[in-house]
Amino acid sequence: MPTASTLAAGNPELMDRVRTARKLLNRRAMVAAAASAVPVPGLDWMVDAALLSKLVPEINAQFGLTPDQLAQLPVHKREQVQKAVGVIGSMLIGKFITRDLVIKAVQKVGMRMATKQVAKYVPLAGQALSALIGYTAIRYLGEEHIRDCVQVAKAAQLQLPAPSGLKASP
């Protein structure tokens, strides 16, 4: 499966959006790793859900794929986006992100998340493993979403919105 960078190659504006989205993703994945290392039951799940519920709309915004941005498109362009989303099969593009959508997305990496829960109770090594799993799980979900956004933007030939500043909040 090609990466977002591979898909965006040849389009400098799209490549810039991929880099910006990855910066957001890296910051959030580091926070997820830190939360995963804390041996408090359920804390990492709550942090992961909160991070994803904020991260996904920010990534969507980079590619002009938030519900508000899509509502401003002409009808024919919105239909192109909807067809592209249907072909790609993303459940997170162009939708208001709810807890249920985040749970469905996290189910993709469910075994990793379950392993993370068990590992965190082994002193030191388990907490480090849990942090690594938390980081990679968020990175995986984020990278998949960025790739889906690039595919939709290309397939629908979307005009990308003006770049927005990178938010520093986790």
Residue 2 lies in a domain: no
Q: How do residues 76-107 score in pLDDT, each as one tens digit?
A: 999 999 998 888 888 778 776 666 766 666 66
Is 32 inside a domain boundary?
A: yes
Residue 170 placed within a domain: no
Whole-number pLDDT of residue 169? 46
Cβ-proximal residues to 127 (8 Å cutoff; 6+ apart), any chain: 37, 38, 39, 119, 120
- Radius of gyration (C-alpha) of the chain in whole angstroms: 17
Is 169 domain-assigned? no
> Is residue 6 a part of any domain in this protein?
no
Could you tell me if residue 51 is inside a domain? yes
Position 38 in a domain: yes
pTM: 0.80
Of 34-43, 59-68, 97-106, 107-116, the one with minimum mean pLDDT is 107-116
In which domain, by residue range, is 35 found?
11-155
The single residue listed with the structure tokens 């920010």 is 58
Split into its structural domains, the chain has a count of: 1
Amino acid 57: pLDDT: 93
* pLDDT, averaged across the chain: 82
Asked whether residue 64 is assigned to any structural domain, the reply reads yes
